């Protein structure tokens, strides 16, 4: 949820608090409370992967502070920032244990599991091959995927070599090769990885996802959560 410019401007236009007599101060306080409730609602309902920049909140509060009669705004801004960061951390915990889709060729094979991913759209190709390598760069398996269309296409590897033997857990690279314009090329892919933990890295709400066996990625790199 985001506070639109119309909503914010409506709130501000309703605040007639310039040179108020004592009898009008209670209404000014009520208007201030309403404005703050809108900001808090925005924080609580934001998407953890696409958080609203905290500077947007500060800009809205700066607009609000230009109206006379509002006191202690500095502490209010500090409180809003604290609530924002706490909300970000709380929402980020919902990603732990889930799988996220990240662009690249490397995934972490969990014991008894499989690696799955997506071939990006717009890469219609024939004679598509999936080549799997272990951490040392040794080819351990390959699969014939046939032809693919131009739509986004899912792929999966069952974690077995060409002899049907289950391979140990660990990082593996998956290269999808196909024929594009008569040339054999690596297609653009993304792979699903499990989120082990989430780190809040700065006071602007920046977020790093710690992927199982693969290290950290920024939340902006996440294409999908499942």
Say yes or no: 125 and 61 in one domain: no
Note down the domain range covering 36: 5-94
Say yes or no: 38 and 103 in one domain: no
Residue 199 domain-assigned (yes or no)? no
Q: What pTM did the predictor assign?
A: 0.64
Say yes or no: 66 and 106 in one domain: no
Say yes or no: 61 and 21 in one domain: yes
Q: How far apart are CA 117 and CA 172, in angstroms?
A: 13
Task: Please report, for the domain that includes residue 116, its CATH number.
Answer: 2.60.40.4070
Say yes or no: 38 and 53 in one domain: yes
Count how many domains the chain has.
2
What lies within 8 Å, CB to CB, of 163 at 6+ separation is none
Last residue of a domain, one of 29, 62, 94: 94
Beta strands in the chain (DSSP E): 99-103, 106-109, 115-119, 125-133, 139-148, 153-157, 170-180, 183-186, 189-200, 207-211, 215-218, 222-225
Say yes or no: 107 and 57 in one domain: no
Say yes or no: 132 and 169 in one domain: yes
Last residue of a domain, one of 30, 64, 94: 94
Q: Per residue in 116-164, pLDDT tens?
A: 999 998 887 888 999 999 999 999 999 999 888 888 999 999 999 999 9
Say yes or no: 22 and 70 in one domain: yes
Q: Per residue in 165-193, pLDDT tens?
A: 999 999 999 999 988 777 888 999 999 99
Q: Per residue in 62-113, pLDDT tens?
A: 666 555 445 555 666 666 666 666 666 666 778 899 999 999 999 999 998 9
């Amino acid at each position: 949820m985001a506070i639109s410019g119309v909503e914010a401007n409506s709130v501000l236009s309703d605040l007639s608090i310039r040179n108020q007599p004592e009898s009008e101060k209670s209404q000014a306080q009520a208007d201030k409370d309403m404005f703050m409730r809108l900001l808090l609602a925005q924080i609580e309902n934001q998407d953890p992967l696409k958080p609203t920049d905290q500077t947007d909140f500060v800009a809205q509060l700066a607009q609000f502070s230009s109206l006379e009669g509002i006191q202690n705004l500095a502490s209010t801004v500090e409180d809003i920032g604290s609530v924002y960061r706490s909300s970000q951390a709380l929402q980020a915990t919902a990603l732990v244990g889930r799988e996220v889709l990240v662009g690249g060729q490397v995934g972490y094979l969990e014991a008894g599991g499989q690696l799955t991913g997506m071939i990006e759209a717009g890469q219609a190709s024939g004679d598509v091959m999936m080549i799997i390598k272990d951490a040392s760069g040794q080819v351990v398996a390959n699969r014939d995927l046939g032809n693919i269309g131009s739509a986004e296409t899912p792929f999966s590897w069952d974690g077995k070599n060409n002899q049907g033997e289950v391979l140990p857990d660990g990082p593996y690279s998956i290269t999808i090769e196909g024929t594009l314009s008569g040339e054999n090329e690596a297609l653009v892919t993304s792979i699903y990885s499990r989120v082990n933990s989430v780190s809040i890295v700065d006071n602007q709400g920046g977020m790093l996802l710690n992927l199982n066996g693969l290290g950290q990625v920024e939340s902006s790199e996440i294409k999908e959560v499942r």
